Every structure is written in structure tokens, then in C-alpha cells.
């Protein structure tokens, strides 16, 4: 079993240390471990060129216009049975680098889209994709903060698992943790998170769990959340209503208080997002989303030839030129 630990903190800082605490436990449990200090890697932000989603829906392959270290990071995650991210909390949420990784995991690594590509490759008589792309994976997240601003980090972190459809085991954060190496309760919790991750990875290996077909599998070991599907606690509440959307899995419903606790109840009258098969982390939800994207991209491709579309583009492009970036001035 391989466990990959990725830290996004400063070199040998608190995030690196907590990642190593977890990896030590994984190693003691018999796992092969690998540690990545991500700030050393060349990871460029997603430019939004959508070459990845076009490549997938047109059956061309996994394409990314950025040539950097991300594809190696992705392959390392694919080859691991369990992945742990340890990320510093910035402005109550994930670090900027973490958001970049989440974007880069986006459409181009969406399992629903990859399944579509797999079908297209088979029709073209081409080699299939690496079967590990479709193997289920255990993933956990730890956020380390220097203060008590933290409420967005769990959702930010969980979003990375949506695109591949990997199963989250733990998603925790530690506030006031500049001296976390001296806080034994937090070290004990990190070791527990590592143990949970190894056990979940072992379950996946023993049962050959693939992503299509593991819709009902729940490997979650964290606190019970308000969302009964993804255990999330972050919701967008439509102003003046109890109507809400789970920020992680996209399910729609309403919030109500039951026995003193806020509960999220799916609203099946909302088609499609009140229906569990449309949850964003499930293959069924991904396929539906992929179909919507395909229809949208096709409409746009046709519009590129439309005279009215071209005229509007030309009109607004002529309004102003962008400022030359200082780094590109002679
Ligand atoms: C730009 C920036 C924003 C930060 N925002 C928060 C925050 O909102 N909440 C928090 O608890 N800590 C915040 N911190 C503190 C970092 O989480 C802390 O410095 C980091 O976890 C230390 O990790 P390291 O020792 O691994 O580098 C912030 C730090 C920086 C640099």
C-alpha cells in the first residue's frame, strides 16, 4: 500500500511536520510512504483554456496546456492508495496553491468525463486509459491555522475530491497551531487521521473498489455534518428562505432545526439537484454535468461561426486594450 503525503506549508514548518507525523504512523502500519513539499514544485495556475474538457468530450485524450510538475503530482496521486493533504489556512480557507491544485484537478480529471473518453477511445480502437484512474481512493485533509479563522477550509479542501470522485475519510482543521508540535492532543488526532486513512485504503485494496460502482460506499470517519450525503457543514442559503445548496456536493434542499441541531433535508421537488444521483461527487452526477458541459461547449463552437457573435466580440474587443504588465515592459 502506498500513502502519499502532500504539505503546502513552508519548508520544515508546521504543515510539513504534521504531514510527517501522519506519514510516520502510516509507515508503522506497513504502508510505503512518500512526502511532497509542494512549494518546491513548479505548479502553474489554470489559465481556463478548457483544452482539458474539450480534449475529453471530443475523445482526444487528457490534455493540459500547462507544462509543469502537475501531471507528475497527479500520477503520484493515482499510484497511491491513500492521499493526505496538509495545508496552511489562509484567510479562513485553503491556501492559494491548494486552490490552484483544485482547479488543475478540475474538468480534465473528472471521472465522469474520463469514462466518456474511455468509451471514445474504445470506439477509435485506441489503448484504454490507465485503469488506476478508475480505482477508488481514500483521501484526507488537515488544515493548520495560526489563529481561529478557519470556517471555509473544510469545504475548500473537500472540493479537490469532487472531480475524481475520491472518498474523503477525514477533513479536519487545527486552530492556534503555530506550536502544534508541542500540542499532544493535536498530534494524537493527526495519528488517528493517518490510521483511518490506512484502514480506508486497505478496504479499497481488499475489495478492489472502483469509482463507478462505489456510489454508496462511505469511508467517512469525521464528525457528523449537516449534509446527510457528504457530511458537509457549509451551505449557500438563498436570501430570505431556508432553501439551501450544499457547497460541496451540490445537493439542494432546506435547512431545519431538529432536536437543537441544524439538519439539511434534500428537496426532491427540485429537479435535478434535489435528487441524490445528481450529487457532484457521484459518477451519475458527473455524467449529467459532463453532458451539460458537452451541450454548452457544442453551442459555443457553433457560435464561433455566427456573424452576430463575431460582431459583438469585435465591438467589445475594440473598447479598450489591456494594460501592459510591468514585467513585460521594455
Ligand atoms: C496570507 C496568510 C493568511 C493567513 N490566514 C490565516 C487564517 O485565516 N486563519 C488561520 O488560522 N491562520 C492563518 N494564517 C496563518 C497560517 O495558517 C500559518 O502561518 C501556517 O499554518 C503556518 O504553517 P507552516 O509553519 O507550515 O508554514 C495565515 C497566514 C498567511 C501567510
Cα(152) to ligand 1 centroid in Å equals: 13
Our answer on whether the CB atom of 9 is closer than 6 Å to any ligand 1 atom is yes
Q: Check pocket membership of 93 for ligand 1, CB cut-off 6 A.
A: no
How far is it, in rounded angstroms, from Cα 216 to Cα 214? Answer: 6
CB of 12 sitting under 6 A from ligand 1? no
Largest CA distance in the chain: 67
Using a 10 angstrom Cβ sphere, with 0-12 exposed, 13-18 middle and 19 or more buried, the burial of residue 171 is buried
- 88 C-beta closer than 6 A to ligand 1: yes
At residue 36, the pLDDT reads: 98
The confidence score (pLDDT) of residue 285 equals 93
pLDDT digits (tens, 9 = 90+) for 11-48: 999 999 999 999 999 999 999 999 999 999 999 999 99
Q: Which three cell numbers stand for residue 324?
A: 501592459
Contact between 1 and 9 under an 8 Å Cβ cutoff? The reply is no
CATH number of 2-222: 3.40.50.360
Q: In ligand 1, which atom is closest to the CA atom of 144?
A: 21
Question: What nine digits make up the cell of 89?
Answer: 489556512
SS (H, E, C) 53-113: HHHHHCCCCCCCCCCCCHHHHHHHHHHCCEEEEEEECECCECCHHHHHHHHHHCHHHCHHH
Q: Is 149's C-beta closer than 6 angstroms to any atom of ligand 1?
A: yes
Take residue 223 and report the three cell numbers written for it.
464528525
The pLDDT assigned to 98 comes to: 98
Contact 181 CB / ligand 1 (< 6 Å): no
pLDDT of amino acid 255: 96
Task: Please tell me the distance from the alpha carbon of residue 255 to that of residue 196, in angstroms, as a whole number.
Answer: 30
- In contact, 195 and 28? CB cutoff 8 Å: no
Mutate to test the pocket of ligand 1, among 38, 88, 172 (most ligand atoms within 8 A of CB): 88
Q: What is the pLDDT of residue 88?
A: 98
Res 284: pLDDT? 92
For residue 86, report the distance from its CA to the centre of ligand 1, in Å. 12
pLDDT at 176: 98
Dist. CA 87 → ligand 1 center (Å): 9
Tell me the percentage of the chain whose pLDDT exceeds 70. Answer: 100
C-alpha cell at 208: 478492489
Closest Cα to residue 99, out of 110, 109, 88?
88
pLDDT given at position 289: 87
119 Cβ inside 6 Å of ligand 1: no
Query: If you measure from the C-alpha of residue 171 to the centroid of ligand 1, how many angstroms do you get, rounded to a whole number?
Result: 17
- Low-confidence residues in the chain, pLDDT < 70: none
The model's pLDDT over 226-268, given as tens digits with 9 standing for 90+, comes to 999 999 999 999 999 999 999 999 999 999 999 999 999 999 9
14 lines ligand 1 (CB under 6 A): yes
Taking the C-alpha atoms of residue 65 and residue 52, their distance in angstroms, rounded to an integer, is 8
Strand order in the sheet with 138-144: 32-37, 2-7, 82-88, 138-144, 167-174
- CA angle centred on 318, ends 316 and 324, rounded to 5°: 110
Phi, psi at 190, each rounded to 5°: -65, -40
Q: Where are the domains of the chain?
A: 2-222
- Report which protein residue has its CA nearest ligand 1's atom 9: 149
**95 alpha carbon to ligand 1 midpoint, in Å?**
8
Hey, which of 17, 91, 144, 146 would you mutate to test ligand 1's pocket, going by the most ligand atoms within 8 Å of its Cβ? 146
Amino acid at each position: 500500500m502506498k500513502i502519499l503525503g502532500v504539505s503546502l506549508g513552508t519548508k520544515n514548518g508546521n504543515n510539513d511536520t504534521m504531514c510527517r507525523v501522519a506519514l510516520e504512523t502510516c509507515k508503522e502500519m506497513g504502508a510505503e510512504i512518500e512526502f511532497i513539499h509542494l512549494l518546491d514544485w513548479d505548479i502553474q495556475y489554470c489559465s481556463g483554456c478548457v483544452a482539458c474538457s474539450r480534449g475529453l468530450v471530443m475523445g482526444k485524450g487528457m490534455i493540459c496546456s500547462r507544462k509543469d510538475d502537475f501531471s507528475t503530482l497527479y500520477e503520484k496521486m493515482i499510484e497511491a492508495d491513500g492521499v493526505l493533504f496538509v495545508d496552511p489556512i489562509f484567510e479562513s480557507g485553503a491556501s492559494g496553491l491548494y486552490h490552484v491544485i483544485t482547479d488543475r484537478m478540475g474538468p480534465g480529471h473528472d471521472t465522469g468525463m474520463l469514462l466518456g473518453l474511455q468509451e471514445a477511445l474504445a470506439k477509435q480502437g485506441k489503448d484504454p486509459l490507465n485503469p488506476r484512474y478508475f480505482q477508488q481512493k481514500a483521501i484526507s485533509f488537515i488544515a493548520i491555522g495560526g489563529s481561529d479563522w478557519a470556517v471555509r477550509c473544510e469545504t475548500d479542501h473537500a472540493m479537490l475530491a469532487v472531480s475524481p470522485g475520491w472518498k474523503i475519510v477525514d477533513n479536519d482543521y487545527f486552530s492556534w497551531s503555530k506550536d502544534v508540535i508541542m500540542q499532544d492532543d493535536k498530534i494524537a488526532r493527526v495519528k488517528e487521521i493517518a490510521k483511518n486513512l490506512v484502514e480506508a485504503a486497505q478496504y479499497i485494496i481488499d475489495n478492489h473498489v472502483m469509482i463507478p460502482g462505489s456510489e454508496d460506499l462511505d469511508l467517512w470517519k469525521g464528525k457528523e455534518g449537516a449534509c446527510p450525503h457528504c457530511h458537509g457543514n457549509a451551505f449557500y442559503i438563498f436570501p430570505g428562505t431556508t432553501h439551501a445548496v450544499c457547497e460541496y456536493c451540490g445537493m439542494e434542499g432546506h435547512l431545519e432545526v431538529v432536536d437543537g441541531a441544524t439538519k439539511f433535508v434534500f428537496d426532491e421537488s427540485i429537479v435535478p439537484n434535489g435528487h441524490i444521483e445528481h450529487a457532484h461527487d457521484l459518477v451519475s452526477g458527473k455524467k449529467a454535468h459532463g453532458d451539460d458541459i458537452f451541450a454548452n461547449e457544442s453551442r459555443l463552437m457553433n457560435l464561433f461561426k455566427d456573424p452576430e457573435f463575431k460582431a459583438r466580440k469585435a465591438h467589445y474587443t475594440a473598447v479598450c486594450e489591456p494594460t501592459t504588465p510591468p514585467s513585460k515592459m521594455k
